[in-house]
C-alpha cells in the first residue's frame, strides 16, 4: 500500500514538472509585447524606381510591422533604412539528362534602424535566407508557380525577422527607459 502511494506521488510530481516545463516553452518570447512605435521606411525599395521584388517586400514589411502594433508615420520614432535587397538564383543539381533539377533562391537584406536624431538603434545588419526547391521538368508552369510562392514566403520570413529583431531591441530600450525613471 505504501509503495502505491509513493508511485502516485512520484507520478504527480513528474506530471506537474512536465506541465510547468511545457508552459515555460510556450511563454518564451511572449514578454516582447506589442511594438508600440511610429516608423518610416527609406532606401532603395521605396519609390517608383523600385523593382517588383522590392515592392513586394515593402508591402510584406509594412504588414508585419502593422501586425506587431507599429504604425507608419513620416516623422516616426524610428527610420528603417533598407540599404539593399538582393535576389540570387543558383542552379543546383543536374539530372541524368544533364538538365537542372534543383534551384536555390537566396535573398539578402541589408538595413539599419535609426532614431529621430539619426543615431543607430540597430546598426547595419545583414539577413540572408535561402531555399532549395526541385524543378519538375514535366510541369514547368507548376514549378514556376511554386518558385513564386517560395519567393513570397522567403520575403515574408525576412520581414518577420526584421520586425522580431526590432521588437527585441525596442523592448530592451523600453526596459532601460523605465529603469532610469
Contact 158, 131 (CB under 8 A): no
5 and 67 part of one domain: no
Residue 81, number of CB atoms within 10 A of its CB: 18
d(CA 159, CA 111): 11
Domain count, the chain: 2
Rounded CA gap, 160 and 97, in Å? 39
Looking at residue 112, its pLDDT comes to 94
For residues 38 and 117, membership in a common domain is answered with: yes
Do 1 and 18 fall into the same domain?
Answer: yes
The predicted model gives 163-171 an average pLDDT of 87
Statement: residue 64 has pLDDT above 90: yes
In the predicted structure, residue 103 carries a pLDDT above the cut 70: yes
Residue 84 has pLDDT above 60, yes or no: yes
What's the pLDDT score for residue 180?
A: 44
Say if residue 65 is in the same domain as residue 6. Answer: no
Residue 124 sits in a domain of what CATH number? 3.30.160.150
pLDDT in tens, 16-40: 777 766 665 554 444 455 778 889 8
Residues 61 and 143 in one domain: yes
Residues 16 and 102 in one domain: no
Residue 21 has φ and ψ, to the nearest 5°, of -65, -40
Query: Do 15 and 89 share a structural domain?
Result: no
- Which three-class secondary structure string do you get for 5-20? HHHHHHHHHHHHHHHH
Same domain, 39 and 20: no
H or E element in which residue 43 lies: strand 38-43
Write down the residue that cell numbers 525599395 correspond to: 45
Do 153 and 70 fall into the same domain? yes
* Angstrom distance (rounded) from CA 109 to CA 161: 10
Task: Please check whether residues 15 and 97 belong to one and the same domain.
Answer: no
User: Do 66 and 27 sit in the same domain of this protein?
Assistant: no
Residue 92 has pLDDT above 80, yes or no: no
Helix 140-180 and helix 52-67, axial crossing angle in degrees, nearest 10: 40
List the alpha helices (DSSP H) in 34-114: 52-67
Q: Are residues 78 and 11 in the same domain?
A: no
- The parent domain of residue 156 ranges over 33-180
79: closest CA among 44, 134, 26, 116? 116
Amino acid at each position: 500500500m505504501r509503495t502505491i502511494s509513493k508511485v502516485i506521488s512520484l507520478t504527480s510530481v513528474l506530471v506537474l514538472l512536465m506541465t510547468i516545463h511545457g508552459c515555460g516553452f510556450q511563454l518564451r518570447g511572449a514578454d516582447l509585447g506589442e511594438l508600440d512605435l511610429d516608423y518610416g521606411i527609406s532606401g532603395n525599395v521605396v519609390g517608383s524606381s523600385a523593382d517588383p521584388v522590392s515592392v513586394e517586400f515593402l508591402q510584406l514589411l509594412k504588414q508585419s510591422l502593422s501586425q506587431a502594433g507599429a504604425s507608419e508615420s513620416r516623422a516616426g520614432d524610428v527610420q528603417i533604412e533598407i540599404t539593399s535587397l538582393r535576389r540570387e538564383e543558383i542552379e543546383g543539381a543536374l539530372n541524368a539528362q544533364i538538365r537542372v533539377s534543383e534551384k536555390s533562391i537566396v535573398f539578402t537584406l541589408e538595413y539599419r534602424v535609426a532614431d529621430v536624431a539619426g543615431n543607430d538603434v540597430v546598426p547595419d545588419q545583414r539577413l540572408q535566407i535561402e531555399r532549395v526547391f526541385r524543378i519538375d521538368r514535366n510541369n514547368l508552369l507548376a514549378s514556376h508557380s511554386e518558385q513564386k510562392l517560395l519567393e513570397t514566403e522567403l520575403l515574408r520570413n525576412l520581414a518577420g525577422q526584421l520586425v522580431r529583431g526590432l521588437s527585441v531591441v525596442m523592448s530592451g530600450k523600453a526596459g532601460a527607459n523605465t529603469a532610469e525613471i
